[in-house]
Structures are given as structure tokens and as C-alpha cells.
Amino acid sequence: MNATTVRHILDTIAGMFPDAHCELNHNNAFELTIAVLLSAQCTDATVNKVTADLFQKYHTPQDYISVPLEELEQDIRRIGLYRNKAKHIQNLCQILIEQYGGEVPGEHDLLVQLPGVGRKTANVVVSNAFDVPAFAVDTHVERVSKRLGLANWKDNVTEVENKLNKRVPREEWTISHHRFIFFGRYHCKAQNPACQVCPLLDICREGKKRMKTSLVIKEKKVKPKLSKSVKKNNTTT
């Protein structure tokens, strides 16, 4: 894919979602880290409902390790995999206290060493909390990138990130991450993408395939069926 096409994709999505932003509610780097950790295999909307009460009860890493694990589990029980996530949170908080003075480190390499913090979470934290350019690849970013040909279908998450980092200007990594998420969440959805009104349909492999399939189905539905009498006359002539 050439630079002109990449620029067209970025500008088009920017025009559709100019105000894209992180939709996980948080007040600081620590809350953001907890929220992103909870968001794995869970919607941002559900996480925000849980953290509305969670962040009122817990303010510091010490708060999280001062309660029994079972209590923390109950506080986040609406979140998928809540038992594992509760363990990760307490282990993470213990490390923050022992090694970082209770503060979240701003370096990507240090963040990924924390329990429950993967590459995506670290990218979200450094970019949103510390203003370090990063292109976090979640399910929406991965889907959009592959459909638009910015990455290959079989690329893993790291390969998708590397290709995006090469093709998108570094100063646009963070905002493009948010815009790709909005594009995937509200327009190019997994099950029912708005292909018929998409301004990027002409370069979207998935969109072209879907529209072609849709057209074939419509043609089959509108194709007139011969009545029995017509079929009979046709066979006797």
C-alpha cells in the first residue's frame, strides 16, 4: 500500500471521527491502568459502570491490597474473568508499592512486566497518560487494519502494530488509534459494518466482498419465478 492511500484512509477516518478519544473513564495513570486491565474481553461501557464505584472505593495501590481478594472479586464481578483480574490488580499494586513508590511507571518496557499488563495495555497507558506516541492494537484496530489492507489477514497483533507504526506518521499514532477504534466500534462493526455508506468502500477488501454477496442475494430474491402454466407451455412448444 502506497503512502497516498494510507493518507487517504487516515484523513477519511479523521473526518468521520475528529473527536475520537479514550472512552475509559479515569482521572490519572493509575486508574487508567486498572481500567484497561479490566477491559480485556470486556466492553468499555461495562468497565465504566464498574469503575464508577470502584474508583470511589479505591484510590491508591495500598487501598487495593488492603482488602481480601474475595472482596475485590465481588467489586468487579460484572467484569469477564474477574477472578483472574482481581489477582492481577492486587499483584500489580504490590509491585507498584515495592518498586515504584506507588506510582505507575511511564516506560513501556516496565509496564509490560506488571501482572495483567500486556503490550496493548502498556501502549494505551503510555500514550494517554504520558503523551508518548503509541498505536495500541485492540480488536477494533486489528479488524479495521486488515479490512482496509493496512495489514495482512494472517498477521498477529504485534505484526499489525509494526505495520501501522511504519505506515502512519509517529505523531499520529495515538490519535489514529482512537479514530480506528471509533471507526470499528461505530461504523465498521464486526457483524454488521455499514459498507453501503462507507467512504472507504473502494479500497476495502471486506466491504467489496460483502457488497458483492449482498448484490447476488438481492438478484436471487427479485428474479421472477415462472408460473406452472408458463412452464407447461414452454415445455410443449
DSSP-assigned states of every residue in 106-163: --HHHHTTSTT--HHHHHHHHHHHS--------HHHHHHHHHTTSS-TT--HHHHHHH
Please pick, among 138, 146, 218, 232, the residue that the annotation labels catalytic: 138
Q: How far apart are CA 191 and CA 149, in angstroms?
A: 18
Number of H helices, E strands in the chain: 13, 0
Catalytic status, residue 120: yes
Please pick, among 120, 146, 218, 221, the residue that the annotation labels catalytic: 120
Catalytic status, residue 154: no
What would the grid cell of residue 52 be?
Answer: 464508577
Helix (H, G, I), strand (E, B) or coil at 87: helix
What would the grid cell of residue 18 be?
Answer: 475528529
Residues forming the active site: 120, 138
